[in-house]
Each structure stands twice: as C-alpha cells, then as structure tokens.
A and B are shown apart, each in its own frame.
Chain A
C-alpha cells in the first residue's frame, strides 16, 4: 500500500517512521497491533500522539525504542532516528542507541528510577556510558542538568535518593536522565498522567522549553487532549493501531477532519461553554483480533457508507495536515 503523504528523508528529522507494522504471533493467529504507521518528527518539535487505550500509541513509542515485548515484532516498515535506520539493528546495537540517540520518559517516575542509588549516581552512570567524561566532569554535568530541569539546590539534591523527591521533582530528574546522553529524540509516554494539574503544567512547560533549547524532537504519547493542546506542535491521532489524522495542533483540535477526531473532541467537556449533553461516540474501540475490514472506525462512524466497509483509507494531504478518511478521498459510497 502506498502512503501518498511523506516528506523526503532528511537529517533535519529526529524521527522518521514509514509504514511501520507490528505483529504479535499468537496461538490463535497473528494480531496486528500497528498497521502502516507513518509519522515524522523534526528536531526541536513536539509531536503529540493521542488515542484511547489500546489505540497503539504506546506501542509506537516502544517500537521506536526497540522495546517491544516478545513475541511482538516489527513486521514491515522502517524507523529512522536522526537519519539512521534502527529497526533492523541487533539488541546490542539498539542498547547503545537508547540513551545516546533516543531517550525515554515514562509515566511513573518512581519506577523509572532505581531506589537504591542516589539520583547523582544514576545521572553520572548514564552520562559516562555515552561520553568519555571523567567522573568529576560527569558530576559537574549532572549538576548542570539538574539545574536545567529546575531542581532547586542541585548541588545538594544530587546526593539524595529518589524517595526524597516529590512526584513532580522525580519526573524532573527523569527528564534530566533522558537528556543526559544528548539524544536527538525523546519518547515521553504519559509523562504527566501521574501528576497533579498544577505540577503537570510545570512539567509540560519544562519539556517544551528544553526540547527547543536542545533541538530535541519529542514524541509525546498521551490520552489527554488538554496536554496535547498545551504542549505539542503537531498531533497524530491513532485508532485501532493506525494513524488516522495528523497535522498542526490548532488545526486538528479546532477543525478536526476525521469523524473519530471530531467525536473525540466533542466528548471532552470544555472549560468554555457548558452543554446539556456531551457528544458521545457509541460503542468501543475494536479488539485487535476483530478489526473491521475497510476503515477500522466504520461501525461507529455516523458518516460511514458502503465504501468504508471495503476500502481501507490511506493518508491524503488536506489543509496543512493529512487524514485517512474516505469522506476526504473519493466519497463513502
């Protein structure tokens, strides 16, 4: 299948994913968790990846990190990080790429940090693994990183253990760790979900500032449209393992083109105006073993026609973004 939308490969891209499919062979047959996913992230750009549970957004991040749980495997497609192809590397080669070319921030900062080592030890280990700095130089760099992520009293705090930090401060340490190897790309998987709103705003603002300064591309995986609205430059909407719409954040959020994106936006209670009843999308996302033929959204879609049940829509350019919907590609009948 050809994907019509795609910019040329370039070094300016922190991440370039083309036609990525991920499969899980099981006793009952092969489950396709990701199907023909294509997206790009420029340096210094934040791409939000949204979708509901099971849409494949975390799976996309894990595939880029080379951390798919066996028996999951990349069945087809290419992943390029900073211009270098990484989907066909061995486990050892991938291990050297993680940290130096791609960093990761996960949801729960307490489980991403080792409770038995001080944050300084963990930062210094990471820095020295990816550079030739001496222990003292690495320590100075670690203090510098902690200052950058806004930890007050970094010189003293560096010798503290993770349990001595609050949730928001811990997430800042995790961000410092992700930046330690100067990666071109950071995968941030629900980085603010475990935090309170006031802290969440601090962390997203920090993430934005740092990725601009360092020229790091960020894949921000979240289910929270609010976080996307505040943080991302562009957004990719996923449904049933496919990217269905991608474009600049203002355009996708205020003028969504795909019926699913529209439904999703309508179901979020807005701060502005109060409505009697929220728009709701009836039904639920299909399971991986029962993805409908044609457009995966067709059984829940109010605009679906006969063609939607047979023809799988491809991404077509529309406005400043692109959308995979037959309404925008030849009609539904």
Chain B
C-alpha cells in the first residue's frame, strides 16, 4: 500500500484470455494459439470514500477490470490491493468488495424470496447469528434502500426493474463491504428510475462512507457520480483525471471525441465532430497507439510506437504522444 488513504490500489493489471480454437482444429489447420489481451497494464488507485469511474465503449475491458477487482477473474499479471480492512475479512468478518450488476432481472435468483436473497451473504459469512437477528437486519437493509420490510416475503418477479436494482444494492450491502463495484448499474433502467437509483447510491455513499468503482459507458451519468474518471480504450487507460478537469480540458483525442459524440439534451441539434470508424478488434490491435487509425491528429510516430503513460497537464495521467507537455 502506497498510501493509507487508498481503498484500492491496482498495479500493472493485465488479463489475457486464451481464445484459441480447440486443439484438434489447431493441429489440422496449423494455426497457433490465439490470445486476447482484454486488459493491459492498467494502474489506478481509488481513495477511500471516493468514486472512480471507468468509461469506454463495448469491448474496452472495463467490465473485465470490474470482474478482476471482485475476484471473479484471476489476474494474468499485476496486483490488486485492498486497504487492510479495519474489521478484518473472511469467515465471520465482512467482505472487502461487493458487486452490483447491470441486469437486475438476471442477477437475482427468481426462485428465492427477497429476504433469503439478502440474508444469504449474512449467513454465509456468519456476520449475524439467530433467525430473529438476521430478519431484523434484512428489514433494516430493505429500508436503507427505500423498500419496506414486508418486501422480504415477496419474489423478485413482483418488483419493477428499479426496485430489483434496489434489492441488488441491499444484497451487496448485506456483507458490509467498504468497497462497491458497480458494473453499469443503471443501464437497463428508464431515466426517471435511473435518477432514483443514482440518488440512492449517492446517499448511501454519504451515510456509509462507501468507496465506488463505477463502470459505465454513459458519460453524463459518470459526471454525476464520479470524483475521478479513467477513460479506457482497447484494454488500456488512455486518460485519467479528476472529473471536472477531464470535462473542462480533455487531452487525449479519444476522450475529446467521446465527449463530442455524446448527445446533450441541453443543446439539441448542435453541430459536432463525429468519430469515424469503429473500435478495432482486441484480437488484432493496431501497432503503436491503439487509437491511431481513428485519430484525426495521428502522426507517423503514433503508428509506430505506443505512447507512454505520463503526467497530464492540469493533473492526472494521459497516454498520447500529442498531449500538451507540462
């Protein structure tokens, strides 16, 4: 741990997937093994009580980072360090990180009552003992997320999408984590419901002192939630800065175009620069800077050497040859 203020430190994290054809096909077609580098040399820290957002398009590796952080995938290289929990960890102790998934219809067991879904982590980790105590804790959690204690007896299908996401949040809070990984928590919801859930998440952060790693492709939502933003492109972080600094002065051309392409309801029918082309396949990433085939500013250098991550003017980090020097 480099700083006691950090809830999470991720150092040079990489994850490589083996996407080779089966052995027999490889032998017959004389093809080598193929690897997909979903996440490459990703380094970031999240301060206690803050919210770091990872943004990017499909396939940029942001969800893979979320799964690495929660331990659903093992890292190929690199290290993930959580702050030494005050309360300890493991059986009989709270968990260090929990996850809220995108689709509240797929992430709740349809055959279990809501009360059992929320009580499972409490029982599993032995955080509370005795049926009455656990029932009271479930009721408390349901009230925390804006549902009523009676809802414990009902099944997930009886709830709307927004209410289900509240149940997911209650379940995540049940194991008393200090760190929540939220993978597109509002993407499946309508805007008015999204506002309810985002407000709830902000309130919980204030009340419980939670730290968030927030994954989203929606920059407007990210701006509302995050203290700091890391923009990912093809498995790497291309720019990272405090939210206001990033929005005020985006320095990587990808960040700039991403901000340009986002429809803004406050400014209908504005003229904007469109990003040409499509994200390349991570199986066959371009040489040099991965963004150079789509970059309007690309120079010779960009197609030859990958840019180093360096300090960004105005604070933060940027990986671009052409970003202004300090």
Q: Is B265 an interface residue (CB 8 A)?
A: yes
Q: How many residues of A contact B (CB 8 A)?
A: 46
Residues of the B chain whose Cβ atoms lie less than 8 Å from the Cβ of A226: 220, 262-265
Closest Cβ–Cβ distance, residue B242 to chain A (whole Å)? 12
Within 8 A of B (CB), among A235-271: 249-250, 253-254, 263-271
Q: How many residues of B contact A (CB 8 A)?
A: 44
Residues of the B chain whose Cβ atoms lie less than 8 Å from the Cβ of A274: 223-224, 243-244
Closest Cβ–Cβ distance, residue A262 to chain B (whole Å)? 11
Task: Say whether A278 contacts B198, CB under 8 Å.
Answer: yes
Chain B, Cβ-Cβ closest to A233: B269
Within 8 A of A (CB), among B183-227: 190-196, 198-199, 202, 217-221, 223-224
In the complex with contacts A225-B191, A269-B220, A196-B264 CB distance below 8 A = no
Task: Say whether B224 contacts A196, CB under 8 Å.
Answer: no
User: Of B160, B265, B269, B274, which is in contact with the most chain A CB atoms at under 10 Å from its CB?
Assistant: B265
Of B58, B217, B265, B279, the contact of A268 (CB 8 Å cutoff): B265
Q: Is A223 an interface residue (CB 8 A)?
A: yes
Closest Cβ–Cβ distance, residue A158 to chain B (whole Å)? 19
Task: Say whether B220 contacts A271, CB under 8 Å.
Answer: yes
Q: Is A229 an interface residue (CB 8 A)?
A: yes
- Report the separation of the CA atoms of residues A253 and B269 in the bound assembly, to the nearest whole angstrom: 11
- Report the separation of the CA atoms of residues A200 and B257 in the bound assembly, to the nearest whole angstrom: 13
- Report the separation of the CA atoms of residues A254 and B278 in the bound assembly, to the nearest whole angstrom: 32
Q: Is A166 an interface residue (CB 8 A)?
A: yes
Q: Is B261 an interface residue (CB 8 A)?
A: yes
Closest Cβ–Cβ distance, residue A26 to chain B (whole Å)? 19
Residues of the B chain whose Cβ atoms lie less than 8 Å from the Cβ of A282: 196
Q: Is B41 an interface residue (CB 8 A)?
A: no
Task: Say whether A196 contacts B265, CB under 8 Å.
Answer: no
- Report the separation of the CA atoms of residues A168 and B219 in the bound assembly, to the nearest whole angstrom: 20
Q: Is B268 an interface residue (CB 8 A)?
A: yes
Of A197, A254, A272, the contact of B261 (CB 8 Å cutoff): A197
Contact with B along A119-137 (1 / 0, CB 8 A): 0000000000000000000
Task: Say whether B224 contacts A198, CB under 8 Å.
Answer: no
Closest Cβ–Cβ distance, residue B146 to chain A (whole Å)? 10
Q: Is B266 an interface residue (CB 8 A)?
A: yes
In the complex with contacts A197-B262, A201-B261, A229-B263, A250-B195 CB distance below 8 A = no
User: Of B160, B196, B268, which is in contact with the most chain A CB atoms at under 10 Å from its CB?
Assistant: B268
Task: Say whether B195 contacts A279, CB under 8 Å.
Answer: yes
Task: Say whether A269 contacts B224, CB under 8 Å.
Answer: yes
Chain B, Cβ-Cβ closest to A266: B195
Closest Cβ–Cβ distance, residue B243 to chain A (whole Å)? 8
Q: Is A159 an interface residue (CB 8 A)?
A: no
Of A53, A227, A264, the contact of B263 (CB 8 Å cutoff): A227
Chain A, Cβ-Cβ closest to B272: A201
Task: Say whether A271 contacts B162, CB under 8 Å.
Answer: no
In the complex with contacts A230-B263, A277-B202, A268-B191 CB distance below 8 A = yes
Residues of the A chain whose Cβ atoms lie less than 8 Å from the Cβ of B68: none
29 pairs, CB–CB < 8 Å, chain A vs chain B: A52-B191, A52-B193, A53-B161, A196-B217, A197-B261, A199-B278, A204-B263, A225-B263, A226-B220, A227-B263, A228-B268, A229-B263, A229-B264, A230-B268, A263-B192, A264-B192, A267-B194, A268-B191, A268-B195, A268-B220, A270-B220, A270-B266, A271-B219, A272-B267, A274-B244, A278-B198, A278-B224, A280-B192, A280-B199
- Chain B residues packing against A (C-beta within 8 Å): 57-58, 160-162, 190-196, 198-199, 202, 217-221, 223-224, 243-244, 247, 257-259, 261-270, 272, 274-276, 278-279
